[in-house]
Chains A and B, each alone.
Chain A
Amino acid sequence: MLSLAKRFLVGRPLSSAEAEHQRLPKRIALATFSSDPISSTAYATEEILFVTAVGGSSLALGLTKLIPMAIAVAILLAVVVASYRQTIFAYPNGGGAYIVSRENLGEYPSLIAGASLLVDYVLTVAVSVSAGVAAIVSLDAFRSLEEDRVLLCLFFVALLTAGNLRGLKESGKIFAFPTYVYIVSLTLLVGYGLARVFFGHVEPVPFDPERAEHVAQAGGSLSLFLVLRGFSSGAVALSGVEAISNGIPAFRKPESKNAATTLTTMACILGTLFLGVSILARHLQPFPTHDETVISQMGRAVFGTGPVHTILQFATAGILILAANTAYVDFPRLASIIASDGYLPRQFASRGDRLVFSNGIVFLAVVASLLLVAFKGLTTLLIPLYAVGVFTSFTLSQAGMVRHHQRLRAQGWKRGVVVNAVGAVATFVVLVIVAVTKFAVGAWLPIVVVPGIITLFAGIKRHYRRVGRSLAITPDQVRPRPARHTVVVLVGGIHRGVVRALQYARSLRPNHLAALYVTYDDNGRQGLESQWKEFGFDITLEIVDSPYRELVDVVLRYLDELDERWGNETITVVIPEFVVGGLFSPTQLLHNQSAAALKLALLFRKDTVVTSVPYQVE
């Protein structure tokens, strides 16, 4: 039943040979790996405004800083993408920040990068899904779902989990459509909106004093600290940019070239849309609230409350929820690489029936769900946790690439050093800004959690190393050891199960073979002796009295006596066992209770092998 449900949800198993056919063409890869960064255009502008307009002094003052901040984020994006193009060609097998750091900076920097990325992938799922749900409840028709925000989030996490357990290409296909619908819808909003702003007329979003009650005291100044915090919020748009460099092996050949082209295409789309949304927001002056997203407010202003606005909202919800797919692709892949290096349980490194790293997918889903419940599914509460991990891994990756160029000195290495050094410095500066400006509002959490994860990594590695050392063997330990071998078959009567056990025992060709019957009274002894003769078994039957109806102690004493009698080096105790409806069926509990107790006792006896010979009862 469980297996049928699994087949229905996950699909038929795939053979290893089918792995090559699971590779992605560029158009699907763009949707699969870029839904995370591109979708951040749906909330990055809003998050800047939440800091500079709501948390700052006034909407008007906040809006004046919006375009410069957006330009700064776009420049940062260009720097990071230029750096990651170097990484893609230098590391065609993928791995991203973790592998680059491991090979160039050493163990601990790579663990910092790995832990930061894993935390960030979890946050990607939580943030994207919560923002997607926010887009849905922004629609008038679904506003009543606001109270069930967390449940909706969990529903979408479950949906994504099932999609990803089905396999890479199929989930890519599922996710390509909403990604492209969103890109077209947002391009239409930005293009048509700006055309109306510059060549026609469009009313700004009406200002609702009730919504803006808490920032009514307009006229204060916008401090540098708030500007930098606003920039930190906008910088979350870069999260997920590294996904392509992690997943190069998922591309069709030539993998590196296709991955680099996809990365550049993604950056152009992301940069253009982010700048476009910010410029439009500057003119339409939406006010960020938890009731309705900024994109929805601007869509309403540009298209009116009609089908185009509804399509825009659904497309936004679609890409945001599916943006989490980038993390679903990369978290399990990165976890498997880290597990292969011995820093995570090896279960993360084994592929499931559909050639995906099922354990990583399920783990990601569980942790992201816990975060969504803990933070009530609210994007703004989750955003401060974000970005620290992203920029930590960016910095380590780019610093690693600088060392890589210096080490190998391949053609054009000096240019590579400059590009990656600029990337490393720029992302490090942003990391410091994010950590400082958002520490009090949540960035402390990853700053505490990442060292905890690194400690866990180190502990796991230490344990595996210790176990590895204790499991090492020498040829001496595995030489064949022909030994004096005695087999004892326990019999409780004569039936088909006992006969099968006797046949089995004989086929082991031991030096000595005996059947043992433990009797509680004289009647039992005489009855079995006569039956044994009647059946003509040519195996010695030894009968031991147990006046106090003990079984385990009597058998153990008998085995000790056999050891003395024959100088055994190994004793195999064969126990006939009924199997009723499967070895682990509940009906088994009704049978073989004595056998279970005996097996448990024999488990601790030296040089003793216990073998149950099953006999299926129809």
Chain B
Amino acid sequence: MARPDGIFELRRTRNHTVVVLVSVADRRIVPALHVVSRLGCSDSRALHVSVDAEATRKLAADWMDLGLSWLPLHIEEAAAEGVLASVRRAIEKDADGGDRVTVVVPELDVVRWWQPLLFRSRARRIAEELQPLPGVTTVIVPFCLMPRGSC
């Protein structure tokens, strides 16, 4: 493969934003937050797409109570097209200026056959939704619901 000058330069200056998607403030987001804090990117924040005003208020209050001010929480109203489209639109804005965006999606990992009936996970669908966006990488960070060793 010939080297076309300039194309393969590993640019150092490009801005890299990390966005972690959150719906509630509980342990399922802990591994994802650890990933965010260890990535050391120039800009990181949490994104919540609001479908229920009461749940959003609770999340915002919990966010402050847990001392998560190091990771600003951004709240977007869910658009008519649904949560997935709202996430996509918000991430598109971040990636608009040619910036690199890593979207960290916490996922509740369940092992019993009936548990998917009780816990809906959208992580895979979000990954699929964001996949066509240039400059966007999705990282799914699982949290195992069962005791250690079961997952």
Contacts and interface: CB of A to CB of B under 8 A. Distances in A.
Contact of B27 (A345, A473, A570, A582): A473
A453 interface: no
Contacts of B66: 473-475, 478
Given A472-B27, A609-B35, A504 B139 contact: no
Name the residue in B65, B67, B118 with the highest tally of chain A Cβ atoms < 10 Å from its Cβ.
B118
A511 to B, nearest CB: 9
B61 interface: no
A583 B137 contact: no
Given A345-B117, A508-B16, A534-B3, A475 B141 contact: no
B14 A503 contact: yes
A482 interface: yes
A477 B143 CA distance: 14
A451 to B, nearest CB: 20
Interface stretch (A374-382, A442-450, A459-467): A459-467
The majority secondary structure among interface residues of chain A is mixed
A581 to B, nearest CB: 11
B25 interface: yes
Nearest to B11: A503
Interface stretch (A39-47, A88-96, A306-314, A346-354): A346-354
A13 B82 contact: yes
B38 A347 contact: no
A510 interface: yes
A499 B9 CA distance: 8
A473 B39 contact: no
Given A345-B118, A504-B100, A613-B137, A15 B1 contact: no
Contacts of A537: 8, 10
A324 to B, nearest CB: 25
B141 A609 contact: yes
B37 A480 contact: yes
A14 B12 CA distance: 44
A74 B26 CA distance: 54
Nearest to A481: B37
B40 to A, nearest CB: 5
Nearest to A485: B38
A465 B8 CA distance: 53
Contacts of B67: 475, 478-479
Given A583-B127, A611-B139, A506 B26 contact: no
Given A472-B26, A481-B38, A508-B39, A582 B120 contact: no
Contacts of B137: 504, 611-614
A477 B42 CA distance: 23
Contact of B118 (A350, A464, A480, A481): A464
Contacts of B79: 15
Given A473-B27, A504-B100, A504-B137, A485 B39 contact: yes
B118 A471 contact: no
B82 A353 contact: yes
Contacts of B80: 12-15, 18, 353
Contact of B41 (A477, A478, A508): A508
Contacts of A203: none
A8 interface: no
B120 A603 contact: no
Contacts of B145: 467, 470
B97 interface: no
B30 A478 contact: yes
A485 B30 contact: no
Given A473-B25, A569-B38, A614 B120 contact: no
A464 B132 CA distance: 35
A182 B82 CA distance: 39
Closest 4 CB pairs of A and B: A471-B26, A507-B16, A15-B80, A480-B37
Interface of A: 12-16, 18, 345-347, 350-351, 353, 460, 463-464, 467-468, 470-475, 477-483, 485, 494-495, 499, 502-504, 506-510, 531, 534-535, 537-539, 569-570, 572, 579, 582-584, 603, 609-614, 616
18 contacts: A13-B80, A15-B79, A347-B120, A470-B145, A471-B27, A471-B28, A472-B27, A477-B27, A480-B70, A480-B71, A502-B10, A507-B14, A507-B16, A508-B40, A570-B38, A579-B131, A582-B132, A603-B142
Given A12-B80, A470-B145, A475-B65, 16 more contacts: A14-B80, A473-B27, A477-B27, A478-B33, A480-B70, A483-B37, A503-B100, A504-B137, A506-B12, A508-B102, A509-B16, A572-B39, A583-B127, A583-B131, A609-B141, A614-B131
